[in-house]
A = this chain, B = another copy of it.
Amino acid sequence: MIKSFDDVLKKAGRLGIKKVAVACAEDKPVLEAIKGAKEKNIADAILVGDKEKILKILDELNMKEQDYQIVDEKNPKAAALKAVEFVSSKKANMVMKGLIDTASFLRAVLDKEIGLRTGKLMSHVAVFETEKFDRLLFMTDAAFNIAPDINAKVDILNNAVLMARAIGIDMPKVAPICAVEVVNPNMQATIDAAILTKMNDRGQIKNCIVDGPLALDNALSEEAAAHKNIKSEVAGKADIFLMSNIEAGNVFYKALTYASNCRNGGIVVGTAAPVILTSRADSFESKLNSIALAALTAHEIDK
């Protein structure tokens, strides 16, 4: 069973080394994570960007130039496109954002000719290891999809299921999270949750067990679920937390990150290959965790 980021890192290290293409790699915290990923046998890297600056940082970090393929491209947008192209042409398994703004990076990821579009919705999945729960919590979407309708939620859910299975949760339990655990026709989130559950019953959503509406407490905690007398295969044991809107997702992400003791990582899925989009505020550990999640997901996609 995969229950912690130690498990994730170990599993990723046993896959056979993957390759990550970094867009605008002249970024010290990103290169530190790249170094860590190599040391753990998770990923090699193609570093696209300002070669002079990249070499300087490699030197500072005691990383060997000959260990990496370096592609000199000073223009950030061109560098992003080149990094993405390494992935779409199968020379790398995943792409990572370096020192470039998110909008420009994503434009390259979604480029019509060489990008990583699949026709499905792109979504963000964050993974948390908390001190209070003995399993990894997959949460989506805190970053991209503002107010997803039912069709968007199906894509977001499927993206997270693919990723959870890649990490090692064969039949993930999915809780569409609402403010209450009953269907309230005045709360769209509860209606969508009921619909998703029935779509799962009917085999329209596969490879997982969906049950909602659930509130966060009774999705997280068996004790809270028992307190409310909820009979459900998912209540108290949810692996995937499907948030009803970006505000709820973002608050979940940040409440855990800032008010609890946790480890995390996250990637973008729904694309032809995983996309690593860490932010400056993320720790080294969180960036490394994200690379490991991406490596496992890439392995599953490439199967």
Q: Which residues of A contact B (CB under 8 A)?
A: 130, 132-133, 142-143, 146, 177-180, 186-187, 189, 215-217, 220-221, 224, 227, 243-252, 254-262, 280-281
Contact A251 B254 (CB under 8 A): no
Which residues of chain B have C-beta atoms less than 8 A from A252's C-beta?
A: 251, 255
Contact A217 B257 (CB under 8 A): yes
Contact B280 A227 (CB under 8 A): yes
Which residues of chain B have C-beta atoms less than 8 A from A189's C-beta?
A: 247
Contact B254 A215 (CB under 8 A): yes
CA distance A257 to B218 in the complex (A): 12
CA distance A237 to B187 in the complex (A): 32
Number of copies: 2
Contact B179 A258 (CB under 8 A): no
Contact A259 B258 (CB under 8 A): no
Given A179-B246, A186-B146, A224-B281, answer yes or no on A251-B258 (Cβ-Cβ < 8 Å). Answer: no
Contact A260 B251 (CB under 8 A): no
Inter-chain pairs besides A130-B259, A146-B179, 10 sampled, C-beta below 8 Å: A177-B251, A179-B249, A217-B281, A220-B259, A227-B281, A245-B245, A245-B247, A248-B248, A255-B259, A255-B260
Which residues of chain B have C-beta atoms less than 8 A from A243's C-beta?
A: 247, 251
Minimum C-beta distance from A263 to chain B (A): 13
CA distance A133 to B255 in the complex (A): 12
Most B Cβ at <10 Å: residue of A146, A244, A251, A256: A251
Given A178-B247, A248-B245, A248-B247, answer yes or no on A255-B258 (Cβ-Cβ < 8 Å). Answer: no
Minimum C-beta distance from A240 to chain B (A): 15
Contact A179 B260 (CB under 8 A): no
A-B contact list, 16 entries, CB within 8 Å: A130-B259, A179-B247, A179-B250, A189-B247, A215-B250, A216-B250, A216-B258, A220-B254, A243-B251, A244-B247, A245-B245, A248-B248, A252-B255, A256-B260, A259-B262, A260-B260
Cβ contact of A146, chosen from B177, B187, B259, cutoff 8 A: B187
For the complex of A and B, 10 pairs with smallest distance between CB atoms: A255-B255, A260-B260, A216-B254, A179-B250, A247-B248, A179-B246, A217-B254, A248-B248, A259-B260, A244-B247
